[in-house]
Amino acid sequence: MKYLFFPFISLCLLLSGCQTEVKSTHTSKKTELVISAAASLQDALKEIETAFQKQHPNVTVTNNFGSSGALKQQIAQGAKADLFFSAAEEPFDALVQSGDIDQEHIKDAIQNELVLIVPKDNSSSIKSFQDVKDIKGKIALGTPESVPAGTYGKEIFTKLNIWNQVKKNAVYAKDVRQVLSYVETGNVEAGVVYKTDALVSKKANIAAEANPDMHSPIIYPVGIVKATEHLTEAKAFFQFLQSDTATSIFKKYGFQVS
The response to whether 220 counts as a known ligand-binding position is: no
Evaluate whether 96 touches 223 at the Cβ level (below 8 Å): yes
Beta bridge partners of 170: 139
DSSP per position, 154-204: HHHHHHTT-HHHHHHTEEEESSHHHHHHHHHTTSSSEEEEEHHHHHT-SSE
Alpha-carbon distances of 215 from 11, 160, 185, 198, 220, rounded to whole Å: 71, 11, 27, 18, 15
d(CA 235, CA 46): 18
The response to whether 36 counts as a known ligand-binding position is: no
- Tell me the chain's radius of gyration from C-alpha atoms: 24
The response to whether 176 counts as a known ligand-binding position is: yes
d(CA 198, CA 186): 15
d(CA 176, CA 113): 13
3-state secondary structure of 208: strand
Alpha-carbon distances of 133 from 126, 137, 155, 178, rounded to whole Å: 10, 11, 14, 22
136: left (phi over 0), alpha (psi -120 to 50) or beta: alpha
Tell me the residue type at 28.
S
Name which of 180, 203, 202 is nearest 193 in CA terms: 180
The response to whether 149 counts as a known ligand-binding position is: yes
Residues at the binding site for molybdate are: 40, 68, 149, 176, 194
Residues at the binding site are: 40, 68, 149, 176, 194
